[in-house]
Amino acid sequence: MAVVSKKIAAPDLVPVRRALLSVSDKTGLVDFARALSDLGVDLISTGGTAKSIAEAGIRVRDVSEVTGFPEIMDGRVKTLHPSIHGALLGVRDDPEHAEAMHQHGIEPIDLVVVNLYPFETVRLSGADYPSIVENIDIGGPAMVRASAKNHAYVAIVTDPEDYGSILNALELNIGSLSLEFRKKLAAKAFARTAAYDAAISGWLAETLEIEQPAWRAFGGRLQSVMRYGENPHQAAGFYVNGDPRPGVASARQLQGKQLSYNNINDTDAAFELVGEFEPSGPAAVAIIKHANPCGVGIGDTIVEAYAKALACDPVSAFGGIVAVNRTLDAAAAEEIVKTFTEVIIAPDASEEAQAIVAAKKNLRLLVTGGLPDPRAAGLTVKSVAGGLLVQSRDNATVDDLELRVVTKRQPTERELTDLRFAFRVAKHVKSNAIVYVRDGATVGIGAGQMSRVDSSRIAARKAEDAAEAAGLAEPLTKGSVVASDAFFPFADGLISAIEAGATAVIQPGGSMRDDEVIAAADAAGIAMVFTGVRHFRH
């Protein structure tokens, strides 16, 4: 049964006379505690927090003095006591609450400063199961939620970054905090405990291999406020969840203006694509525009790979995102900056390369320290009206698939190498996806069409445009291989690729008309390989 409010109006200003401090992250703690003490605030604290404050020569009372009960069970039980939670939850203008507080000697607490056990950090550190469980905070979230609920009388601080604003507000209001300010602190506090619980429940679901838990929770911390979202009339922010996967969220931005919403989306797509190519293998470069690759190439050097990627669609590459799978070197940087580029992302960048990129002050340069593992498990989330679509990451890689030749003609070794390359790229192209490849470079990409035939024709036409721009006698789709992210439902899509000059095809297979498609391939004398796995990407 819901508790009915007595509709007692909350006071605008609440003087801060007593504060409870219990923090795991002690950043700025001593200076903040000293400032509160100088304002005449009575400080109460626990364990290591109390020790740090006392050692700085600041007067502080241990919470056990307030509760009359010692910390027990290795500190698991210390603040879970009526003397603490009564002080946090009491409605001070309610006569019954006030009488209960007086009867039991409960003094109100006006300010609570709590940050939680570092569960997220310990989880990612490789600690064992018992250690991770021990870092699930109980008393902290209980105090945070109690204080946040009773924000009519209590201010709750969960982030050391807010210490400065708290002190400024106390100075402005002569030792009090306003209701509006307390409400904002409460909103942040509830969001923090929600994200904390999301991390815990997500870890348990993952550990216990519960693929579809009855409840899903996701949380993140604001890393930056965007100027706008996909369009100028949309507000946006970038939130990070602590996932250690190398990428745009964990990257260091060495230079350039702030990343936009679209920059982040496209840069993530670009780096995930080059993550398909191990740094111990050939150099790989992907150029992305609107979350689709407009060119991908591999070579002995980044310069060679970049030249191949750029040649595929130099028009679309203007204003694009460039991702590389190796340390960005000076030679590559020299070539990349010749074309207007929004972002370069790489595992690292040499000092010489950084100096070259620095000449383009608005060009963002991100270094990640590593590549994302294409085989790693994980989740992807998409919002829909009224809910979330949650699925496991597409971590199938062509090197792990059992390829099956279904035509009379076997692919040559060169064709097979290019087929694998093409299917890697098709995995990162919006569906319906068609990718033509020749000699370790995309030569035509068709993305996001409602018809696979249209994707094939668009890719072929773009290859013709690129050939014309390069002064070639014919497009590089002549003698190329082609990849399709899903099966050909009819032979017409395959025939379009044959007409463009493809000599070998890689596709998942599985259509009701596979026999018809195979017959068309045999009639044209081309090789076709089935993967058994599709890569829809919407």
Question: pLDDT tens digits for 348-397?
Answer: 999 999 999 999 999 999 999 999 999 999 999 999 999 989 999 999 99
Predicted TM-score (pTM) of this structure: 0.88
pLDDT for the residue numbered 484:
95
Task: Give the β-pairing of 252-255 and 364-367.
Answer: antiparallel
CA 321 from chain centre, in angstroms, equals 18
**Please, are residues 442 and 427 in contact by the beta-carbon 8 Å criterion?**
no
Res 242: pLDDT? 85
pLDDT tens-digit map of 165-196: 999 999 999 999 999 999 999 999 999 999 99
Which residue do the tokens 């203008």 mark? Answer: 93
pLDDT at 6 over 70: no
Last residue of a domain, one of 181, 207, 233: 207
Selection from 197, 166, 152 nearest residue 21 by Cα: 166
Based on the residue annotation, tell me whether 26 is a catalytic residue of this protein: no
CA distance 510 to 383: 30
Are residues 168 and 53 both part of a single domain? yes
The answer to whether residue 130 scores a pLDDT higher than 80 is yes
pLDDT of residue 71: 74
Q: What is the pLDDT of residues 482-529, one digit of tens each?
A: 999 999 999 998 999 999 999 999 999 999 999 999 999 999 999 999
Q: Stretch 310-336: mean pLDDT, rounded?
A: 96
Phi, then psi, of 378 in degrees rounded to 5: 170, 180
Choose, from 183, 290, 360, 478, the residue flagged as catalytic.
Answer: 290
Task: Answer yes or no: do 363 and 412 share one domain.
Answer: no
Residue 384 lies in a domain: no
pLDDT of residue 513: 93
Q: Are residue 419 and residue 337 in the same domain, yes or no?
A: no
What's the confidence (pLDDT) of residue 332?
A: 97
Contacts of 453 (CB under 8 A, 6+ apart): 492, 493, 496
Whether 216 is covered by a domain: the verdict is no
Establish how many alpha carbons lie within 13 A of residue 324's alpha carbon, considering only the half-sphere containing its beta carbon.
28
DSSP string, 48-78: HHHHHHHHTT---EEHHHHHSS--BTTTTBS
> Do residue 189 and residue 265 come from a single domain?
no
User: Is residue 485 domain-shared with residue 348, that is, in the same domain?
Assistant: no
Alpha-carbon distance 298 to 285, whole Å?
6
Q: Which two tokens stand for residue 157?
A: 């601080």
185 and 254, same domain (yes or no): no
Distance from C-alpha of 190 to C-alpha of 141, rounded to nearest angstrom: 9
pLDDT at 198: 93
Domain count of the fold of the chain: 3
Residue 347 has pLDDT above 60, yes or no: yes
Q: Average pLDDT of 70-84?
A: 73
Query: Across-strand partners of 286?
Result: 296, 323
In a domain, 4, yes or no: no
From 217, 71, 187, 42, select the one nearest 139 (Cα to Cα): 71
Tokens, residue 301:
């050097």
Same domain, 190 and 253: no
Q: How far is Cα 101 from Cα 120, in angstroms, rounded to an integer?
A: 37
Query: Cα(329)–Cα(351) distance, rounded to whole angstroms?
Result: 8
Which is higher by pLDDT, 533 or 93? 533
At 468-479, the pLDDT tens digits run 888 888 888 999
Give the domain CATH number at 35.
3.40.50.1380
Q: Is residue 465 part of a domain?
A: yes
Is residue 3's pLDDT more than 70? no
Confidence of residue 5 (pLDDT cuts 50, 70, 90): low
Residue 531 to residues 267, 297, 317, 484, 528, Cα–Cα distance (Å): 28, 22, 30, 10, 10
Question: Is residue 175 located within the same domain as residue 28?
Answer: yes
Q: Check which CATH number belongs to the domain holding 303 and give it.
A: 3.40.140.20
pLDDT for 12: 85
Which of 309, 343, 367 is the endpoint of a domain? 367
In a domain, 379, yes or no: no
Residue 124 banded pLDDT, cuts 50, 70, 90: confident
Q: Residue 169 contacts by C-beta under 8 Å, 6 or more apart in sequence?
A: 177, 178, 181
Report whether pLDDT(141) > 80. Answer: yes
Q: Are residues 328 and 460 in the same domain?
A: no
> What six digits make up the tokens of 349?
């960048």
Same domain for 48 and 136, yes or no, is yes
Q: What is the pLDDT of residue 1?
A: 56
How much is the pLDDT for 274? 97
Distance in angstroms (rounded) separating the CA atoms of residues 23 and 27: 9
Q: b/e per residue, 215-232, with b = 16+ CB within 10 A?
A: eeebbbeeeeebeeeeee
CA angle 308, 312, 317 (to 5 degrees): 100
Among 81, 149, 183, 478, the one annotated catalytic: 149
Radius of gyration of the chain (CA): 30
Residue 147 included in any domain: yes
The answer to whether residue 8 scores a pLDDT higher than 90 is no
Residue type, 177: L
Provide the 8-state DSSP code for 328. Answer: B
Q: Please report the pLDDT score of residue 47 as a whole number.
A: 84
pLDDT > 90 fraction of the chain, expressed in percent and rounded: 80
Distance CA 275, CA 323 (A): 9
Task: Tell me the pLDDT of the chain averaged across its residues.
Answer: 92
| 85 classed as catalytic | no
Where among 176, 207, 238 does a domain terminate?
207
- Interatomic CA distance for residues 59 and 96, integer angstroms: 33
- Is there a domain that residue 332 lies in? yes
Give the whole-angstrom CA distance, residue 33 versus residue 38.
9
If asked whether residues 157 and 294 sit together in one domain, one would say no
Q: Domain limits at 442? A: 402-530
214 in any annotated domain: no
Find the range with the poorest average confidence among 89-98, 144-153, 338-347, 372-381.
89-98
Confidence at residue 243, expressed as pLDDT on a 0 to 100 scale: 87
Cα torsion for 513, 516, 520, 521, to the nearest 10°? 60
Q: Check whether residue 51 and residue 159 sit in a common domain.
A: yes
